[in-house]
Amino acid sequence: MREIGIGLLGLGTVGSGVVRLLQDNQAKISSITGRRLTIKRVIVRHPEKHRDTKLDGVPMTANIEDMIQDPAVQIVVEVMGTIQLAEDYIKRLLQAGKHVVTANKDLIAQKGGELVDIAAKKQRDLMYEASVAGGIPILRTIVNSFAADQILEVSGIVNGTTNYILTQMNQKKVSYAAALKSAQDLGFAESDPTNDVMGIDAAYKMIILTQFAFGMSLKLENVTVEGIDKVRLEDIQQAQSLGYTIKLIGDAKEIDGKASVSVGPTLIANSNPLAAVQNENNAVVVKSAAVGNTMFYGPGAGELPTANSVVSDIIAVTKDIGIGITGNTFNSYRHQVAIAPNSAVKSAYYLALKVRDIPGQMLALTRIMAESKASFRQIFQTSSDGDFARVVMITHEISLAQLEKVQEKVAVLENIELISSYRVLD
């Protein structure tokens, strides 16, 4: 049987999983592809480090040139991370005629367009199924199974670390710091978890999903992003008492041909299936004109789930090599970028406010709401420590422009502080 040589750029959580799947499922993969997939070379930062993953006889070095120059390597798997270095390496690998599979959403979200162009010019494949929602095969599904349908919205939970943290805080009353630490130990979090908790990792994934769903290549500054770093246990408990669970939700919708993309803590009604998605699991809901709502659920991070997406890409590339059709872009849908105005983006909101416990404050608050033409469906004063009361309200559907008006007006009030404003999804 003919051989396909694989090069691994990175042998951490995901890289080790890739090795394991290629070894454990070799016979099945060969039966499907008609090729024997063999790991020929590994590049890591510290080649001398002790590793549990055993790759007898496979050279392991720190110099990318070793991979670029190795004629035995046809497909390189980039599971190293970073943006600039990975960009430089992948460009050189593509120029040298290698096919590339990557799990690097940071890179694809920011530099994907350039890399796709180089790959196409060199007639090489560039695939990145693992970059969005880890083990869920969402990108290929959008390309293949929604090609004939008009996607209206793609939304859901696309970061495993934050969903794990929120689940642990909500169910086990674990502290934020302890939950983050265990997400790191379990290998879900990025090497620097700032991007996870600040919503940036989810924003990168939403940028990639927007490209696949609407053909628009957005930049990070086009996405409204808020992380979970300011979500308090009080908010989580308050939401629960109202019948909601707080999740970090990514949302990309098309409004009159324009995109609106956001990431932020959101109150999900407990009857909504997204509320039941726990720990590192992700769920992506695709709303489309013909099909309606379709939900894709599964592990969004972790060694083997992510590795399965990587290996599915390796198999796709191997099949393309076999029939001589490499160089087709992973997603060929292109559409001019247009961003929806804030007046067109609508949602219900949960507003939590710290209000000085003196007469007249509720009146001031309701006046601001009336002036902003924003009505509320629920309002509570939940506790008072003598000086300050906590007031929580859930609005009817209002536009982002109206919300901003309310935020601006509250900001100038001396006795009322807006602590959080989160979207509400029924």
Ligand X SMILES: N[C@@H](CC=O)C(=O)O
Ligand Y SMILES: NC(=O)C1=CN([C@@H]2O[C@H](COP(=O)(O)OP(=O)(O)OC[C@H]3O[C@@H](n4cnc5c(N)ncnc54)[C@H](OP(=O)(O)O)[C@@H]3O)[C@@H](O)[C@H]2O)C=CC1
Tell me which of ligand X, Na ion, ligand Y, none is bound by residue 129, counting a contact when its beta carbon lies within the kind-specific cut-off of 5 to 8 angstroms. Answer: Na ion
Could you tell me the CA-to-CA distances from 232 to 29, 92, 224, 266 in Å, in that order? 47, 45, 20, 13
The sheet carrying 99-102 orders its strands as: 60-61, 36-43, 3-9, 75-78, 99-102, 126-127
Where do we find the tokens 């990587």? 310
- The reply on whether position 196 binds ligand X by CB under 6 A is yes
245 known ligand binder: no
Binding mask 297-336 for ligand X (x = CB under 6 A): ---xx-----------------------------------
Residues whose CB is less than 8 angstroms from the CB of residue 260 and which lie 6 or more positions away in sequence, other chains included: 251, 252, 253, 254, 339, 340, 344, 345
Please indicate whether residue 354 is annotated as part of the active site.
no
Among 78, 87, 153, 201, binds ligand X (CB under 6 A): 201
105 is annotated as contributing to ligand binding:
yes
Q: Which of residues 331 and 372 has its CB atom nearest to Na ion in the complex?
A: 331
Q: Is 182 annotated as a binding residue?
A: no
CB-wise, 5 or 10, nearer to Na ion?
10
Whether residue 372 contacts residue 412, with contact meaning beta carbons closer than 8 Å, is answered with no
In the bound state with ligand X, the residue whose beta carbon lies nearer, of 137 and 300, is: 300
* Residue among 146, 188, 212, 244 that touches ligand X (CB under 6 A): 188
Contacts of residue 336, defined as CB under 8 A and 6 or more positions apart, other chains included, come to 216
Asked if 311 is part of the footprint of Na ion (rule: CB under 5 A), the reply reads no
| 122 three-class SS | coil
Site for ligand Y, rule CB under 6 A: 10-15, 43-46, 49, 62, 79-81, 85, 103-104, 130, 134, 187-188, 190-191, 301-302, 306
Identify the bridge partners of residue 254 per DSSP, sorted by sequence position.
Answer: 259
| 312 is an interface residue for Na ion by CB under 5 A | no
Q: In this chain, which of 104, 309, 326, 421 binds Na ion, going by CB under 5 A?
A: 309
Is 16 annotated in a binding site? The answer is yes
Segment interacting with ligand X (CB under 6 A) among 153-161, 243-251, 264-272, 361-369: 153-161
Closest approach of Na ion to the CB of residue 184, in Å: 21
Q: Tell me: is residue 11 an annotated ligand-binding position.
A: yes
Residues 330, 142: Cα–Cα separation, whole Å:
11
Longest CA–CA span in the chain (Å) reads 83
Which is catalytic among the residues 205, 247, 253, 409? 205
DSSP type of residue 97: T
Residue from 4, 79, 133, 274 touching Na ion (CB under 5 A): that is: 133
Quick check: helix, strand or coil at residue 125? Answer: coil
Would you count residue 199 as binding ligand X (CB under 6 A)? no
Distance, first Cα to last Cα, the chain: 54
**For Na ion, which stretch binds (CB under 5 A), given 81-89, 136-144, 162-170, 401-409?**
136-144
List Cβ<8 Å contacts ≥24 apart for 356-363: 356/387, 356/388, 356/389, 356/414, 356/415, 356/416, 357/384, 357/386, 357/387, 357/388, 357/389, 358/415, 361/389, 361/415, 361/416, 362/391
Does 12 carry a binding-site annotation?
Answer: yes
In this structure, the strands spanning 281-288 and 292-299 are antiparallel
Are 214 and 335 within 8 A, CB to CB?
Answer: yes
- Closest to ligand Y by CB, 55 or 242: 55
Q: Which does 196 bind (CB under 5 to 8 A by kind): ligand X, ligand Y, Na ion, none?
A: ligand X
**What is the contact surface with Na ion in residues (CB under 5 A)?**
129, 132-133, 136, 138, 309
Binding residues: 9-16, 105, 190
**What is the contact surface with ligand X in residues (CB under 6 A)?**
134, 159-161, 188-190, 196, 201, 300-301
Q: Which residues are catalytic?
A: 205
Binding residues for L-homoserine: 190
